[in-house]
Amino acid sequence: MMMQSFQPPRRVLMGPGPSDVGPRVLQAMARPTIGHLDPEFQALMEEIKSALQRLFNAPDHACVPLPAPGTAGMEAAIMNLLEPGDRAVIAVNGAFGGRMADMADRAGATVVTVEHDWGQPVDPARVEAALAEAPTKVLAFVHAETSTGVRSDAATLCGIARKHRALSIVDCVTSLGGIPVDAAAWDADVVYSGTQKCLSAPPGLSPIALSTRAQAAIAGRKEKVRNWLFDFNLLMGYWGGEGGRTYHHTAPINALYGLHEALVVLFEEGQQAAVVRHARAHEALVAGLEATGLRMLVDEAHRLPQLNTVLVPDGIDEAAVRAHVLKTWDLEVGAGLGPLKGKVWRIGLMGASATPWHVRLCLTALCEALAAQGFDADAKAALAAADRRLAA
Amino acid sequence: MMMQSFQPPRRVLMGPGPSDVGPRVLQAMARPTIGHLDPEFQALMEEIKSALQRLFNAPDHACVPLPAPGTAGMEAAIMNLLEPGDRAVIAVNGAFGGRMADMADRAGATVVTVEHDWGQPVDPARVEAALAEAPTKVLAFVHAETSTGVRSDAATLCGIARKHRALSIVDCVTSLGGIPVDAAAWDADVVYSGTQKCLSAPPGLSPIALSTRAQAAIAGRKEKVRNWLFDFNLLMGYWGGEGGRTYHHTAPINALYGLHEALVVLFEEGQQAAVVRHARAHEALVAGLEATGLRMLVDEAHRLPQLNTVLVPDGIDEAAVRAHVLKTWDLEVGAGLGPLKGKVWRIGLMGASATPWHVRLCLTALCEALAAQGFDADAKAALAAADRRLAA
């Protein structure tokens, strides 16, 4: 077998992540690798920690990028805060809430799930009822459910956790950079994210922020954390910065170059400006989709701009539509997960993929693919509707 | 705070890893990110799996690259094979054996360590005595101890595990690509490595291979694996390849481009040729070091060519030597860990850093730094001795 160098095809990434990665971030990935204990790398680590505090608005949290994809943030949060004997209330309104519950079970906790229909936001009243039943260590929920395109009310839910003396864990994998994430205003205990969504860096890192309450809870555990790589008692000796670092793992140097550059790019634009850009692209996309007769899964009040779940019309082969746009337009859109499999497309407008160009390409490609299956899709009307929103 | 793009300094990486990353691998890291469920990425995943089977000589093992640094391989191996009630025998002859024991404790296993002085290889007789005491699920050891520069006899140790019906876990983080690793000949159950040592890709991935026995043991567990991200029952649905993939995590796309290119480069050279190159560089380095009056920690019979532990002469400030070569030669060499802190330097000759150029630069820089502290280091004699070995 002769192996050849891999040359990826051209793609336009409008699925649930990764999103398009811009040339500055790609170039940063290719800079020469240096040692993870090098003084200049340690300065970079400090700069990334500060930048993550700014990104999460978490000036009093300890912030680090975990050396693995977004799921690492979830696993680190759950495994560090929970141990046998602890009660956890976990809101489940999609695939990722369910994953949190599985992890909490592995941590040895007593897990109480508050189940919702997929496509609905987390219901604060039902969560509060579950917290009121018994003393609870952790309330965990997903801010932006990537599987459904739903936004939940993080400020209210974190407030309920505080009221009941539970620590809050907020999954911000898909929200961070696309809608406001504000750990300080929410008074959240652990928030985490991934690099491959609205930050538009390659997948592989999981930024996480821990409040002083969360840090104290971890320091006061009875048992060791069941993970070693994500054990904050060890990790903070490596990333902590006070009085020299303790070797723990080898940081993924080049991935951190990429994250750093993505943050430079984001701060140049401004976080608020990026949020506005996501919102505008979303409004234009929805206007275009609705103009051609398509409908959204989620009520307008709870829609995520960066993750749009579009109902597959009756009689349409949803996989054939995705195959068509991939083949003829190099365009990736996402499929439904779990109970939404075959019923929705997931269209991402994340980071560098949240532009008018992406909206127009996607509408053009989708209408073409739908028309090929006999659906009366009017690309001209869709683009005109999107353009009107973009011009407004 | 204005964040600027990060431009790493020039460095020559001769520490315990990362090693120098060549331009082909760096360029691969910067190729456009595509989706992890893209058909072309799935073809790349298949190619990487086959390449890892070739790399480990593990044609009947399941091979995948875990999405985190080398420690992930260790954690995955320990956490998947061990559960409460299991007995594990772990050979400890350096920092990484000790880490394995910590992880096995977190897995809930009964841990029996076989302790050795740092700088000694694992003693098969003492390991066998520990296995003979009681039924044992796992024997774990480190093939190439990065903290000491010692090679242990993997074939013999794996044979002892088989004889006592224990599964073997072999840490090959530093060995793979620098000395022969042969999972089939050893009949090893789990072997794992990292990308940032003799493969000369950036840190961030951990290739791992599991025998059919190991897979059966994982499938037959009583309790869930205590890790979610590294649970092979879930991971193999993502990497398994039969009949469509199940979403698990988002693979670190660009890091996998880098690993793939590093494997293309290695196979072009030939694995055996790379082993010979490491051996020749090592012999030249040792000849040069000894010519200037320095001594190695490890007996010649057990030395790793890719990780050279050099004793710090009496009266020399070892940290000042490292600071000198970093400042004046942009050269990184490693410090001692644990009981060897302050007593040795660790000089890596790994992957792209295992060349005559690196040997000559390192000898030149070290002699200069030693001379600055009044040690009678003769760079000319060191280089002449190294050159004689290189010419032989």
ipTM for the complex shown: 0.97
Binned at pLDDT 50, 70 and 90, residue B1 comes out as: low
Q: How many domains does chain A have?
A: 2
In a domain, B14, yes or no: no
**Is residue B346 part of an annotated ligand binding site?**
yes
Phi, psi (deg, nearest 5) at residue A254:
-70, -35
Geometric angle at alpha carbon B119, from B116 and B125, rounded to 5°? 40
**Residue A239: what pLDDT?**
86
Domain boundary among A267, A297, A325: A267
Q: Which residues contact A196 (CB under 8 A, 6 or more apart)?
A: A17, A18, A19, A69, A70, A202, A203, A204, B33, B250
pLDDT at residue B341 tops 80? yes
Domain match, B252 and B366 both: no
Please tell me the distance from the alpha carbon of residue B170 to that of residue B166, in angstroms, as a whole number. 13
Residues in A closer than 8 angstroms to B71, CB to CB, are 228-229, 248-250
Which residue, of A267, A301, A333, is where some domain finishes?
A: A267
Q: Please tell me the distance from the alpha carbon of residue B166 to that of residue B88, in angstroms, as a whole number.
A: 9
Among B220, B246, B267, the domain boundary falls at B267
Give the CATH number of the domain where residue B299 resides: 3.90.1150.10
CATH code for the domain in which residue A118 is found:
3.40.640.10
CA dist., res. B347 & res. B365, Å (int): 12
A–B interface: beta-carbon pairs under 8 A: 252
Closest CA to A285 of A370, A346, A222, A372: A346
Cβ–Cβ below 8 Å for A34 and B13? yes
Q: What is the mean pLDDT of chain A?
A: 97
What DSSP assignment string belongs to A167-201? EEEEE-TTTBTTB---HHHHT-SEEE--SSSTT-S
List of chain B residues whose C-beta atoms are within 8 Å of the C-beta of residue A104: none
- CB contact (8 A) between residue A251 and residue B203: yes
The one-letter amino acid at B69: P
Q: Other C-beta atoms within 10 Å of A308: how many?
A: 26
- Output the CA torsion B194→B195→B199→B200 (10° steps): -130
Q: Which residues of A touch B222 (CB under 8 A)?
A: none
Answer for the pair A149, A285: CB distance below 8 angstroms, yes or no. no
Dihedral sign, Cα of residue A324, residue A327, residue A332, residue A335: positive
Give which of B20, B29, B36, B206 to mutate to test A binding, by max A Cβ within 10 Å. B29
Which residues of B, range 79-138, sit inside 8 Å of A by Cβ?
Answer: 99, 102-103, 105-107
CB-count exposure of residue B244 (10 Å: 0-12, 13-18, 19+): exposed
* Contact status of B29 with chain A (Cβ, < 8 Å): yes
List CB contacts (< 8 A) between A225 and chain B: 106
Residue B360 lies in a domain: yes
A112 assigned to some structural domain:
yes
Q: Give the sheet arrangement for strand B344-348, strand by strand.
A: B12-14, B331-335, B344-348, B307-311
Residues B232 and B286 both lie in one domain: no
Band (A269; pLDDT cuts 50, 70, 90): very high
Quick one: pLDDT band at residue B67, thresholds 50, 70, 90? Answer: very high
Looking at residue B245, what is its pLDDT? 72
Question: Residues A57, A178: one domain?
Answer: yes
User: CA–CA separation, B63 vs B41, rounded Å?
Assistant: 17
Quick one: tokens of B57? 């000589």
Instruction: Please tell me whether residues B254 and B337 are part of one structural domain.
Output: no
Per-residue CA distances from B319 to A348, B16, B378 (Å):
50, 16, 20
Determine contact: B21 vs chain A, CB below 8 A. Answer: yes
Mark whether B69 and B177 lie in a shared domain.
yes
Residue pLDDT, tens place only, A115-165:
999 999 999 999 999 999 999 999 999 999 999 999 999 999 999 999 999
Which residues from B are below 8 Å from A103, CB to CB? 228
To which residue do tokens 């060791």 refer? A224
User: Which positions in chain B touch A229 (Cβ < 8 Å)?
Assistant: 68-69, 71-72, 75
Quote the tokens at residue B345: 């330097």
Shortest Cα distance from A186 to chain B (angstroms)?
A: 24
H or E, element range at A71: helix A71-81
Which pLDDT tens digit goes with each residue over B222-281?
Answer: 999 999 999 999 998 888 765 567 889 999 999 999 999 999 999 999 999 999 999 999
How distant is the Cα of A330 from the closest Cα of chain B, in angstroms? Answer: 10
Averaged pLDDT for residues B160-183: 98
Nearest to B271 by CA among B66, B27, B52: B52
Binary contact (B228, A47; C-beta < 8 A): no
Instruction: Say if B309 falls within a structural domain.
Output: yes
With CB atoms and an 8 Å threshold, state whether B69 touches A249.
Answer: yes
Q: Does the structure show a pLDDT above 60 at B221?
A: yes
Choose among B228, B255, B261: nearest Cβ to A102. B228
> Is A61 within a domain?
yes
Alpha helices in chain B (DSSP H): 23-29, 39-56, 71-81, 95-106, 124-133, 154-163, 183-186, 212-219, 232-239, 253-269, 271-291, 318-329, 356-371, 379-391
Co-location of B297 and B375 in the same domain: yes
Question: Closest Cα partner for A216 from A62, A371, A11, A101?
Answer: A62
CB contact under 8 A, A255 and B251: no
Q: Is A213 on the interface with B (CB under 8 A)?
A: no
Residue B115 forms part of a structural domain: yes
Distance between B20 CA and the closest CA of chain A, angstroms: 7
Q: Do A79 and A189 reside in the same domain of the chain? A: yes
In terms of domains, do B359 and B223 share one?
Answer: no
A189 and A79 share one domain: yes
CB contact B374 to A (< 8 Å): no
Question: Would B9 be classed as within a structural domain?
Answer: no
Considering the domain architecture, whether residues A288 and A359 belong to the same structural domain is answered as yes
Whether residues A160 and A52 share a domain: the answer is: yes
User: Is B330 in CB contact (< 8 Å) with chain A?
Assistant: no
CA distance B165 to chain A (A): 27
Residue with tokens 């490890």: B298
Q: Is residue A119 situated within a structural domain?
A: yes
Which residues, at least 6 apart from A86, have a Cβ–Cβ distance to it below 8 Å? A107, A108, A109, A110, A137, A138
Q: Which two tokens stand for residue B68?
A: 């985190």
| Bridge pairing between strands B150-151 and B344-348 | unpaired
* Position A293 pLDDT exceeds 60: yes
Q: Which amino acid is at A351?
A: G
CB contact under 8 A, A26 and B27: no
Taking an 8 Å cut-off on Cβ atoms, the answer to whether A203 and B332 are in contact is: no
Range of the domain at B108: 22-267
Lookup: tokens for A356: 């008018």
Among B190, B127, B191, B192, which residue's Cα sits nearest to residue B164?
B127
Residues A229 and A368 in one domain: no
Question: Min CA distance, A106 vs chain B (Å)?
Answer: 5
Q: Hey, is the C-beta of A15 within 8 angstroms of any chain B C-beta?
A: yes
pLDDT digits (tens, 9 = 90+) for A196-244: 999 999 999 999 999 999 999 999 999 999 999 999 999 988 887 655 6
Contact B255 A260 (CB under 8 A): no
Structure tokens at A227: 């993970």
Instruction: Walk across the sheet containing A307-311 and list its strands.
Output: A12-14, A331-335, A344-348, A307-311
Minimum distance, in Å, between the CA of residue A391 and any CA atom of chain B:
31
A97: distance to nearest CA of chain B, Å? 14
**A163 CA to chain B: closest CA distance, Å?**
30
Tell whether B361 is within 8 A of chain A (Cβ). Answer: no
Q: Which of B132, B131, A146 is nearest to B141 (CA)?
A: B131
Mutation target among B1, B2, B6 for the A interface, most CBs of A within 10 A = B6
Query: Would an 8 Å CB–CB cutoff place A196 in contact with chain B?
Result: yes
